Structure 1
Amino acid sequence: MDFCKSILSYLKKTQIIRVYLIYCLMILFYGANLEVLANQSKIDSLHQKLQTSKADTNKVWILRDLAFYHLEENLDSTLFYSQKGYVLARNLNFISGQIWNLYQKALALEFGDDFNEAMSTYRFALDLAEESNDLLSIAKLKNAIGAAYYYNSDYALATLAYQEAMEISDEIHYTEGLSHALNNLGIIYSNKKNYSKALEAYERSLSLKLASADTIGIINSNYNIGLLYAYLQEYDKSLNAFRQAKKLNLYTKTPRDQAVIQIGEGVALYHLGTLEEAYELLDKGISMLKSDKSHEKIAALAYLGILKIKKGEKATGLQDLLQANAMVELTGRLELQKQVTKELASAYELLGQTDQAVHYWKIYDHVKDSINSEQRMWAFEEMQAKYELIEKEKLINKQKAALYAQTKSKFTIISALVMLFLLTIFLGYRIYFLKVKSHQKDFKPEFIHQSIDLLDFKLVNSHLPTPLTSREWDVVQLVELGKSNCEIAATLFVSENTVKTHLKNIFIKVEAQSRTDLIHKLRAMSLILH
């Protein structure tokens, strides 16, 4: 004891304990703010670089980065810096800089719940990428658009965007984009209860992540596969996938991921009958989750609740189940609601409350019927989408055939004219050298080209605060010809909603109130500038 006191006294004298305690206090009080401080440090560094940078193209990227680092804290700052970066890039005719500042602007608009304006900005960036044939940017933007549609609960358009991103990424060997698209398609297929397609997408994504040694990606893919097998009630495979994810996650600093993986593992163990270990994992997982809106927390509370009741902790177990039930009703997730109501009904049976058990078994049956109806609806929508795609392809092929026939006809006429012209020269040559006097008729084909286009695209566009894209200009020209939205959509092979979006953006850029006002203003502007 005296020896320990002497050691402690020595340590105090050498300041080791004091320094250690101060260090612990710093971690305690400032640890949560380290990320914020690091973020602010990066912002300060970027501002300094912006002031000292001599290359304008470099300033474009600095402004893009400033927009990125402000995204989580201040959306107005993100909008400010991204717009400033875009304008500078546009003045430099720096297409890539325009695209990625617009991307940051679209993200800020999306996070600010201005979905329509966000999609318009994404589309503008996509038009620039397509015009410059920048396939990598197109793939990245398609993935971003897919994510925006997904979070807006438009699964059909999200699926289409992800499929396009997947095809382009595969074509250019962009592994990260391909894996991202596959993983998100898997989530959509899983939500639609199309588990075979979801599993196929997840496993292909996992193979890409393994090939590129992407640890975080491997963890996420294994987690999604674990969830999928849980939906399929193949809990042994589910447990294996979660444990693969857990094994890798030990080397990462992602507490939330650790929590949801433990919950997934706990659910699998519950269904496999390993109740003690399931209880421990579920309890630990819940304590690590911060968000009360987490779907994983709902599942964990439901299964932990039934386990508590089985262990005799009736009051707290029922409280957990009722909390899970209250939370799940706000999510609209039928599959999750089915799990919760099933465990709640079973809990009331164990508690001997028959009326409540019957009540929740009825809700359980109703939710099952709703899931089946939802699956039939999605199957019908998928079939309808395929039919519309086939019809669209038929229309495109028909128009291509008509265009080919028209081109062939023009080629035949031109060929005939050329032959006639050559024949005329040949005859003239013969007549001249054989000194045959005859009346000759000159053949002088007249080519008449009348331009009805009163608008100068480049001239007008250079004087607009926000220039029109080439696709928006196509819409303007068709409006000038008196075409309806339906006719414009058919001409450009787009939907009427896309035409309406283009017109909305055009009206804003030109400050026009109607189609007539739009054409009047553009013509007036063109005449003045000429």
Structure 2
Amino acid sequence: MWYLSCFLLLLDSSIAQNEIDSLKNELAKNDPDTNRVWVYRDLAYYYMEKDLDTSLFYSEKGVSLARRLGFNAGIIWNQYQQALAFEFKNQFDEALAVYSEAIRLALSTRDTISLAKLKNAIGAAYYFHSQFDKSLQQYHEALDISSSIGYYEGMGHALNNLGIIFKQRRNFQKALDAYQRSLEIKTHQADTAGMINSYYNIGLLHSYTNAFESSLNAFSAAEHLSEHIHKKERGLAAIQIGKGVALYHLNKYDEAEKHLQAGIPYLGKDLIAEKAAAKAYLGMLKIRTGNNGSSGMADLQEAWNMVENSDRLELKKQIIKELATAYEWLDQPQKAVESWKIFTGISDSINNEQKQWAFEEMQARFDAIEKDKLIRLQARELEKAKASSKNNSLYGMFSAAFIFLTGGLYWYRKKKTLPGPPETETFPHPPASSGQFNPMKVNGSLLSPLTKREMEIIQLVEKGHTNQEIARNLFVSENTVKTHLKNIFSKTDAHNRTDLVHKIRNR
């Protein structure tokens, strides 16, 4: 993900070495206390770029000391560094095992913020191993946990990560909603790095949908915010490429070349996609301007070789399109036709994937609803069984008492009314409707219960708020509010907002 790439780019090696030297000096002076636990964690962090085995060594030292001290936060965050080091060593199973230990500790100590951060981290681990369904699940859980405690940083990270997967699956509207909601949160928190990340992803998304004016605006906003970040040339590399591509498609070739040339020298090995895009569009610029056609074709061919065997279908589609266009410009019709055939094949693959993902998403929603209904039915059956068991016990007690008292109390019992059979419903009846929204009562009557966020939206609807007001109140987009309302109407069988309020007050 770009956010991780940006972090690695901004972590200058000289700064890392200075921090390592300072931390080692501090380690020699400190007693084995909680402060030393954090020093171990920081050393593990700074060694991530230099030596992963040393990073593992220091994080394990931190875990061991934290356990001796009973310092739970120290255990969790040294384990987090441990898991990251395992990930970078491509030891995925070991990383998941360490993450799971940290999750269990966070749950047992009710450390909700750490839990949200760990869910985001595990989602990233699954993402990098192309297990997108599991990744989505972890990010959604991170978002729900963060929302429940008002942890805006966690919400922003989860939304940004969800946007990346939605973009990967080419559900561009969902991705844009997630990025924009993340940007709102990051702006509210004055989180400059987070805002840069969101603007960059929005720019990239608009580029994929050929909205190049919007793409240029987003990249420009990211560039402006990046001016105050250390080592800005390296951090700006991907942003410069994004601007160059947008300017190229807006026919501003001189400006496009300037930005593409400015970004290429600072692209690291982890930014292959950005380098391929830069090479492709620089090559096309050479051909269009008639400067050096053979050199331009070499750049385009190099770009294609970089992405040909990757799964970056959108980027492959863009580059092969430029390559086909270049062959047409250079009057090489046979090669142009071959390139257009590849373009068509990639386009078909994209369409087929979109259809498959749409089907899987629909199936997942259906399965979730059916599972929810089954759980509700099982819960009702369990309550009935408990009630029946309790009634049988009461009946047995009354029977024994009756036999015991038959002799001496016969005439007394004849004059008094015997107690009737026990009630079949042993739970107290709920109070009569007060005309107000009672979430527990409403959920008790639904096969598919309302979520916490849906309850919040219902309460705001009940107060007469518009979709725009609800979105502003909950830090979400209007489209998200509309989606929630559609689900609420479905669950409650309501036809509109007025019908919804009437139904929830009279359930």
* Same fold at TM > 0.5: yes
Name the counterpart of 2:242.
Answer: 264
Deviation at 1:132, TM superposition (A): 2.3
Checking the alignment, whether the CA contact within 8 Å between 2:23 and 2:39 is kept in structure 1 is: no
Checking the alignment, whether the CA contact within 8 Å between 2:27 and 2:36 is kept in structure 1 is: no
Label 1:373 to 1:42 Cα distance change in 2 as closer, same or farther (>3 A). farther
Distance 1:87 1:403 in 2: 45
Supply the RMSD in Å over aligned alpha carbons: 2.5
Name the counterpart of 1:376.
Answer: 355
**2:18 is the counterpart of 1:38:** yes
Relative contact order: is structure 1 or structure 2 higher (C-alpha 8 Å, sep ≥ 6)?
2
Task: Give the match's secondary structure for 1:103.
Answer: helix
Deviation at 1:98, TM superposition (A): 2.6
**2:371 is the counterpart of 1:392:** yes
Name the counterpart of 2:269.
Answer: 291
**2:221 is the counterpart of 1:235:** no
Name the counterpart of 1:494.
Answer: none
Task: Give the match's secondary structure for 1:260.
Answer: helix
Checking the alignment, whether the CA contact within 8 Å between 1:95 and 1:128 is kept in structure 2 is: yes
Q: Which amino acid aligns with 2:131?
A: D
Q: Which amino acid aligns with 2:17?
A: L
Distance 2:50 2:13 in 1: 13
Deviation at 1:414, TM superposition (A): 4.6
Deviation at 1:236, TM superposition (A): 1.2
Distance 2:127 2:378 in 1: 33
Distance 1:292 1:381 in 2: 31
Which of 86, 90, 95 is the matching residue for 2:72?
95
Checking the alignment, whether the CA contact within 8 Å between 2:20 and 2:43 is kept in structure 1 is: no
Deviation at 1:417, TM superposition (A): 5.7
**2:192 is the counterpart of 1:208:** no
Deviation at 1:373, TM superposition (A): 1.2
Name the counterpart of 2:62.
Answer: 85
Checking the alignment, whether the CA contact within 8 Å between 1:293 and 1:327 is kept in structure 2 is: no
Which of 303, 312, 315 is the matching residue for 1:324?
303
Label 1:273 to 1:136 Cα distance change in 2 as closer, same or farther (>3 A). same
Distance 1:61 1:404 in 2: 49
Which of 93, 104, 117 is the matching residue for 1:116?
93
Distance 1:219 1:339 in 2: 24
Name the counterpart of 1:471.
Answer: none
Deviation at 1:412, TM superposition (A): 2.8
Checking the alignment, whether the CA contact within 8 Å between 2:180 and 2:198 is kept in structure 1 is: yes
Q: Which amino acid aligns with 1:369?
A: D
Deviation by residue 1:65-110 (Cα, 9 ceiling, x = unmatched)? 3333332222223323333333343344443333222222211211
Distance 1:237 1:315 in 2: 33
Deviation by residue 1:427-485 (Cα, 9 ceiling, x = unmatched)? 59x87xx9xxxxxxxxxxxxxxxxxxxxxxxxxxxxxxxxxxxxxxxxxxxxxxxxxxx
Deviation by residue 1:481-525 (Cα, 9 ceiling, x = unmatched)? xxxxxxxxxxxxxxxxxxxxxxxxxxxxxxxxxxxxxxxxxxxxx
Checking the alignment, whether the CA contact within 8 Å between 1:46 and 1:66 is kept in structure 2 is: no
Deviation at 1:421, TM superposition (A): 7.9
Distance 1:371 1:315 in 2: 31
Label 1:340 to 1:390 Cα distance change in 2 as closer, same or farther (>3 A). same
Aligned length in residues: 398
**2:155 is the counterpart of 1:175:** no
Name the counterpart of 2:123.
Answer: 146
Name the counterpart of 1:356.
Answer: 335
Deviates more, 1:248-257 or 1:298-307: 248-257
Name the counterpart of 1:493.
Answer: none
Distance 1:160 1:361 in 2: 38
Distance 1:201 1:84 in 2: 39
Deviation at 1:54, TM superposition (A): 5.2
Distance 2:35 2:170 in 1: 47
Label 1:210 to 1:292 Cα distance change in 2 as closer, same or farther (>3 A). closer
Label 1:77 to 1:162 Cα distance change in 2 as closer, same or farther (>3 A). same
Task: Give the match's secondary structure for 1:243.
Answer: helix
Task: Give the match's secondary structure for 2:228.
Answer: coil
Distance 1:151 1:275 in 2: 35
After the TM superposition, which residues 327-346 of structure 1 pair with which residues of structure 2 at under 5 Å, given as runs? Answer: 327-346=306-325
Checking the alignment, whether the CA contact within 8 Å between 2:203 and 2:242 is kept in structure 1 is: yes
Distance 1:310 1:93 in 2: 67
